[in-house]
Each structure stands twice: as C-alpha cells, then as structure tokens.
C-alpha cells in the first residue's frame, strides 16, 4: 500500500506544482512538430512509392529526442526535492520500506510518461481515418518508445537520488542520456571489438526493431537488464544512509 500512497502524492504534486502542464505542453508541441514534418516529408518525397507505414519509423526516432528533453525535468525532483526540503528524513522514519518509496516514485514518473504518450496517439488516430495504416506496428512502436522512456526515467531517478539539487539532477540526467545517444557515433575512435560492446549497450539504437513493427526478445532482455541495473543502483544509493552518515 505504501507504494500506492507515494505514487498518489507524487502525481498530485506534479499537477499541483505546474510542472506537469508545462512538460505536457512542450512535449506535445515538439512531438506534434516532428509528426507534422515527418508527414510533410513523406508527402513530398515518397508518396505512393514507399508504404505509408515507413513514416512511423521516422516519427518514433524523432520522439526519442523529445523524450530526452522531457524526461530529465520529469525525474529531477523525485528525490532531490525531498532531500532539499528534508522531507525524506521524515519518510525514512515512517513505517515505509525503501523499495516502496522507490517504486512509488518510479511508477509516478512512468504514469506521467504514459499520459504524455497517450496524448500523442491522436496523430496515428487521425491518419488512421485518412489512410489505412498497420495499427499493430504503430502499437509496437509505441511499446518500444515506452520502454525507452522508462529507461530514461530509471536513469533520471538514479541521478535524482544522488543529489539534493534539482538542476544538478536534470543536467546530470540529460548528460547521461546524451552520452547513451553519442555512444555509437564515433566509429573511427572505437575499434571493432569496442564498437561491438558499445552497440550492445547503446540505449537509443534499441528502438530500431520496434520502429519497424517487430519485437526482438534480445531488446526486451536489454531493457529489462537496464532497468534492473539502474533501479538497483538507486536502491543502493537510498540505503547507504544505513551504513554511513548523511548530512
């Protein structure tokens, strides 16, 4: 039950402190802009030659960057704010386990991500009535985007648990995501072996199969491991107080 109460408070806090509205507005503006340009590009260059479904690959790849901008401000406050206010000190003296606190906060951000993505379903819905599109592949793409976004959240939650400064949390998360994006860019600097490893941990490249409307078990395993890794680190950072002093 503790998880649910934390989740409830976090969501309420999002919507009471105005962040929610600004984030949703910016997210929809950028996502809408990308959808529009992708559509225009499709009409201009590949009309009738390429299957209409190709547009979604472009669209989802663009959404990655919008999420990269939207997730850090979403997750920055989760722990940093509680630390700054000192309220985490009280939470830690309530009959509440660390994993309940962590799960509640993570789910709140996940819920918010789902809401943002849900609102963008309007774009495929409109297209659906004009052209016949393959609904399944759109949903697979959305599923991939959701997994990617939740991985971003896992990063953000960890960084937020390490600092009491929200700006530091946001910049840190953004930096980490940026690094995951750049990871496989510089092929010249990395030798073949290293590149193979880098490709394996490259978060952003994991979306490609999804955008084509297919699900690869390897990708699912990757996302699962990614989450486990970051959430475990966050849990660790929360419990360190139990073996060392905190300020």
What is the contact surface with other proteins in residues (CB under 8 A)?
A: 1-2, 5-6, 8-9, 12-13, 16-17, 85-87, 89-97, 241-242, 244-245
Task: Name the residue nearer to other proteins (CB basis): 96 or 215.
Answer: 96
What's the DSSP call for residue 163? -
Q: Distance between CA 163 and CA 170 in Å, rounded? A: 10
Q: Residue 183: phi, psi to the nearest 5?
A: -45, -45
- In whole angstroms, the minimum distance from the beta carbon of 173 to other proteins comes to 22
Task: Name the residue nearer to other proteins (CB basis): 54 or 84.
Answer: 84
Task: Name the residue nearer to other proteins (CB basis): 120 or 166.
Answer: 166
Within 92-207, residue ranges assigned H as helices are 98-119, 122-130, 135-162, 166-182, 192-201
Helix (H, G, I), strand (E, B) or coil at 199: helix
Helix (H, G, I), strand (E, B) or coil at 134: coil
- In whole angstroms, the minimum distance from the beta carbon of 224 to other proteins comes to 30
Q: Distance between CA 108 and CA 3 in Å, rounded? A: 10
Task: Name the residue nearer to other proteins (CB basis): 136 or 245.
Answer: 245
CA-based nearest residue to 35, from 147, 108, 138, 165: 138
Task: Name the residue nearer to other proteins (CB basis): 54 or 241.
Answer: 241
- In whole angstroms, the minimum distance from the beta carbon of 157 to other proteins comes to 19
């Amino acid at each position: 039950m503790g998880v649910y109460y934390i989740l409830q408070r976090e969501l309420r806090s999002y919507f009471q402190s105005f962040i929610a509205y600004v984030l949703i507005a910016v997210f929809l503006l950028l996502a809408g802009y990308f959808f529009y340009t992708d559509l225009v590009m499709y009409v201009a260059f590949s009309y009738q030659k390429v299957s209409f479904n190709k547009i979604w690959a472009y669209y989802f790849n663009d959404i990655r960057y919008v999420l990269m901008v939207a997730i850090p401000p979403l997750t920055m406050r989760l722990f940093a704010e509680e630390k700054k206010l000192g309220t985490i000190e009280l939470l830690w003296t309530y009959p509440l386990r660390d994993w309940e606190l962590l799960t509640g906060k993570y789910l709140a951000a996940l819920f918010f991500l789902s809401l943002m993505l849900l609102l963008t379903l309007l774009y495929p819905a409109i297209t659906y009535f004009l052209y016949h599109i393959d609904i399944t592949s759109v949903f697979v793409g959305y599923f991939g985007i959701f997994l990617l976004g939740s991985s971003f959240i896992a990063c953000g939650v960890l960084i937020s648990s390490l600092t009491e400064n929200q700006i530091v949390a946001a910049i840190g998360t953004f930096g980490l995501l940026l690094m995951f994006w750049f990871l496989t860019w510089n092929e010249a600097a990395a030798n073949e072996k290293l590149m193979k490893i880098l490709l394996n941990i490259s978060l952003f490249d994991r979306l490609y199969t999804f955008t084509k409307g297919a699900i690869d078990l390897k990708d699912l395993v990757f996302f699962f491991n990614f989450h486990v890794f970051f959430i475990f680190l966050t849990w660790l950072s929360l419990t360190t107080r139990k073996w060392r002093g905190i300020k």
